[in-house]
């Protein structure tokens, strides 16, 4: 059982006028990574931000991308390594053409590129492109998409994201029946990172953790809290306890 528990605040729920400060505040409160929602107004009925914001955040947080030596491939220069700072940035790409933004996000400083299965007819080349851009691969599914559709790709990705609300807007009610998908994935792919996103907080974390989720995205429950550190700690403790119990039960 190789996976561990990580808590990632969704910064879409922050004060966007103070984005750098808000991200630093979350990291100082114990967040393991930052979850950034990218929406294009096509795949979902909302617009947020793109790779220029990621690039600015990298500079603001003092963790700019470091590129290794460059080599020539097919007549063009490409980076042979892409070493990032300690701040892990997970991009949730709610966009209709995820292929279009892989390179810009990699250059901007993203660590993980999570695209939606519903947004492409050919995930294979996209997964390959993300890997070649030296980012981890996340694959997300909407509530209406069966988990079996994700299964053929599970051994090629680093993380599966099970949406627990309809993607597009924050503050929606948690969909508890999505935990069946999480549980199925955990049983079929024991070492896979499984992320949940949407309506996750102190009232719903037990269901997520018991089902097998280990990457916990929490928006308003963390960002709007008067004491985000205690909320992050609570989410982590519940998740860790569930992982330990699962390990003992095996």
Q: What is the pLDDT of residue 247?
A: 85
pTM to 2 decimal places: 0.89
Per the annotation, the verdict on 40 as an active-site residue is: no
Q: Which single residue is written with the structure tokens 């992982």?
A: 243
**Separation CA 103–CA 110 (nearest Å):** 10
From 28, 90, 197, 203, the catalytic residue: 197
Answer whether 114's CB lies under 8 Å from 90's CB: yes
Per the annotation, the verdict on 197 as an active-site residue is: yes
Name the residue ranges covered by the structural domains of the chain: 6-249
Answer whether 30's CB lies under 8 Å from 232's CB: yes
Cα(first)–Cα(last) distance of the chain, in Å? 10
From 32, 37, 40, 90, the catalytic residue: 37
**Separation CA 181–CA 197 (nearest Å):** 13
Class level of CATH domain 6-249: alpha beta
pLDDT in tens, 84-136: 346 899 999 999 999 999 999 999 999 999 999 999 999 999 999 999 999 99
Answer whether 65's CB lies under 8 Å from 82's CB: yes
3-state secondary structure of 73: strand
Q: How confident is the model at residue 82 (pLDDT cuts 50, 70, 90)?
A: very low
pLDDT in tens, 28-77: 999 999 999 999 999 998 889 999 999 999 888 865 443 333 333 343 33
């Amino acid at each position: 059982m190789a996976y561990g528990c990580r808590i990632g605040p969704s910064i879409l729920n922050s004060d966007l006028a103070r984005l750098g400060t808000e991200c630093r505040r979350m990291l100082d409160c114990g967040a393991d990574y930052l979850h950034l929602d990218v929406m294009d107004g096509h795949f979902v009925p909302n617009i947020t931000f793109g790779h220029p914001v990621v690039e600015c955040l990298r500079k603001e947080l003092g963790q700019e991308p470091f590129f290794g030596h460059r080599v020539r491939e097919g007549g063009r220069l490409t980076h042979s390594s892409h070493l990032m700072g300690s701040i892990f940035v997970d991009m949730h790409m709610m966009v209709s053409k995820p292929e279009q933004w892989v390179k810009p996000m990699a250059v901007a400083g993203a660590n993980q590129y999570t695209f939606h299965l519903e947004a492409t007819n050919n995930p294979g080349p996209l997964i390959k492109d993300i890997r070649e851009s030296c980012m981890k691969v996340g694959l997300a599914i909407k509530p209406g998409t069966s988990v079996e559709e994700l299964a053929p790709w599970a051994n090629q990705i680093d993380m599966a994201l099970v949406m627990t609300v309809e993607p597009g807007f924050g503050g929606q009610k948690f969909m508890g029946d999505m935990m069946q998908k999480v549980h199925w994935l955990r049983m079929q792919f024991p070492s896979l990172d499984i992320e949940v996103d949407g309506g996750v907080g102190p009232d719903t974390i037990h269901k997520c953790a018991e089902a097998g989720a280990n990457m916990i995205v929490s928006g308003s429950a963390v960002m709007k809290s008067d004491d985000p550190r205690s909320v992050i700690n609570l989410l982590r403790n519940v998740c860790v306890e569930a992982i330990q119990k699962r390990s003992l039960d095996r």
